[in-house]
């Protein structure tokens, strides 16, 4: 004789995005190296502008302090949902415009 039992095996979803990028401020003429674990995730800009190439963030040309939010995402895998982790930092403008009065001093 036999007796069958049916059950479901649920995957363990223990892969969690961990954005370990530094939260230190940078100036608009600097770049920031992005780091996250586990490897293989994707980077995106949530707010604040700029661009990402590989693991390097480059800010836009700005005139005021700008808060930037960068997201690291580990994609969904089977029944396991995608996970994300955000890091926030400030980009400050480079204030290199100097007044230079070139008016002639001749009488």
Which is higher by pLDDT, 8 or 17? Answer: 17
Which of 37, 57, 40, 59 has the alpha carbon at shortest distance from 48?
A: 59
pLDDT (0 to 100) of residue 45: 98
Domain count, the chain: 1
Cα–Cα dist 27/91, whole Å: 5
Task: Report yes or no on 105 lying in a domain.
Answer: no
Q: Which domain holds residue 43?
A: 18-92
Give the model confidence (pLDDT) of 50-102 as tens digits: 999 999 999 999 999 999 999 999 999 888 899 999 999 999 999 866 677 88
Task: Report yes or no on 4 lying in a domain.
Answer: no
Q: Beta-strand (E) ranges in 9-55?
A: 18-19, 26-27, 32-33, 36-37, 42-47, 51-53
pLDDT (0 to 100) of residue 78: 85
* pLDDT tier for residue 11 given thresholds of 50, 70 and 90: confident
CATH number assigned to the domain comprising residue 33: 2.60.40
pLDDT (0 to 100) of residue 97: 65
């Amino acid at each position: 004789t036999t007796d069958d039992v049916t059950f479901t095996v649920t995957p363990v979803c223990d892969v969690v995005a961990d954005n370990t990028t530094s939260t230190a401020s940078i100036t608009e003429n600097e770049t920031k190296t992005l780091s996250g674990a586990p490897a293989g995730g994707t980077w995106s800009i949530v707010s604040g502008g700029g661009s990402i190439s590989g693991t390097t963030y480059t800010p836009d040309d700005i005139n005021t302090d700008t808060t930037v939010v960068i997201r690291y995402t580990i994609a969904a895998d089977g029944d396991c949902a995608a996970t994300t982790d955000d890091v926030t930092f400030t980009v400050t403008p480079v204030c290199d415009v100097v007044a230079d009065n070139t008016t002639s001093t001749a009488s």
